[in-house]
Amino acid sequence: MLGHEVLGRGHNRREASGDPTAHAEVLAIREAARRVGGWRLEGTRLYVTCEPCLMCMGAIYLSRIPVVVYGSADPKAGACGSTYDVPRDGRLPHHVEVVAGVREAECRELLEGFFRNVRGQGVVQQVRGSGLESSLAWKNNNDGRRDGRVVEGD
């Protein structure tokens, strides 16, 4: 349906793939670009569980995504106000609107649970053995993955 069509999905696959750029946001953006047949994703929104990092914000700017919606802040690497504030940097040529704190408690709980499990089981075992590579959904992502989805704008 126009206005609510999911164009791309992703989840953090750094450990599983050995690729340091395999963040949820980047993977979702790549899939969306393939699907629309171009790199400009104007008129879309990116929904993520955790605040995007600097690399992901770079990909968001380069793909012209105008709106980012995230749940939980990332005080160690967040680039939407927690550690860095890329969207408010007036030197950049494009504006990205950020909606923070959507379902924040739920997202924080998911992320904390995920990292508790990772510390207890080891990252590679956790990624390969717990269904982290299954399909994603914003409302019922119950394993703590950072999932990125690009949804066509209203």
Concerning whether 25 is annotated as a catalytic residue, the answer is yes
Q: Which of 110, 109, 114, 65 is nearest to 87 (CA)?
A: 65
Could you give the dihedral angle defined by the CA atoms of residues 144, 22, 104 and 114, in that order, rounded to the nearest 10 degrees?
20
Residues in the chain: 154
Catalytic residue, from 25, 31, 97, 106: name it: 25
Half-sphere exposure of 143 (CA within 13 A, CB side): 17
Q: Alpha-carbon distance 35 to 151, whole Å?
A: 12
**Residue 129 backbone phi and psi in degrees, to 5:** -110, 5
Could you give the dihedral angle defined by the CA atoms of residues 60, 95, 152 and 3, in that order, rounded to the nearest 10 degrees?
160
Q: Alpha-carbon distance 29 to 65, whole Å?
A: 9
Residues belonging to the active site: 25
